[in-house]
Amino acid sequence: MLSVIWQSAELCFATDARLVVEVLPPLAFRPVPAAPGWVRGLFSHRGRLIPLVDAARLLDQPVVPDRMANRVLVVRCSPGPDHVPWTAGLWVHSILEIDRIDFDQPGSHPGLATGAGRFLGAIAQTRWGQVQLVEPRELFTPEQAAVLADRLKEAAA
């Protein structure tokens, strides 16, 4: 699968390139009170407010200071509560490259995703070391999607 390979703290991850809308430099965003701690806030993307998810917080990694190497992966997520497809920004430490990764290759691991880590997939060995697949369609539970949809409506009002 053609993947965007990115870094969060000391770990490498990959996202299916077909689910990445675009990659942006660090950008301004608005914090959203009462949103989950891993949601940095909202930002305007092509005229719509969308959530900005902090990969380090989502992955329970140490939060490092922001820097110019940070990037925002705008990714396609699962449909929201009203079944309208929506996107989110994923704040990552850096983009390493775009490359093909075979997550089914001999020696790879299916991953240990459960519960809060439902968005984590298989792990493969690459030239960047072990890279784990992140599935944007699983970033939000239906309950979280509903809360974020409500916060988006409030912020837009």
Indicate if the alpha-carbon torsion angle 109, 72, 45, 148 is positive or negative.
Answer: positive
CB half-sphere exposure, 85, CA atoms < 13 A: 7
Residue count of the chain: 157
User: pTM of whole model > 0.95?
Assistant: no
Cβ contacts of 113 within 8 Å, gap of 6 or more: 119, 120, 121
Structural domains in the chain? 2-156 (2.40.50.180)
Cβ burial 131-148 (10 Å sphere, 16+ → b, else e): bbbbbbeebbeeeebebb
pLDDT mean across residues, the chain: 84
Give residue 152's pLDDT band: very low, low, confident or very high (50, 70, 90): low
Residue pLDDT, tens place only, 71-128: 999 998 865 555 556 789 999 999 999 999 999 888 888 887 666 677 888 999 999 9
Amino acid 111: pLDDT: 80
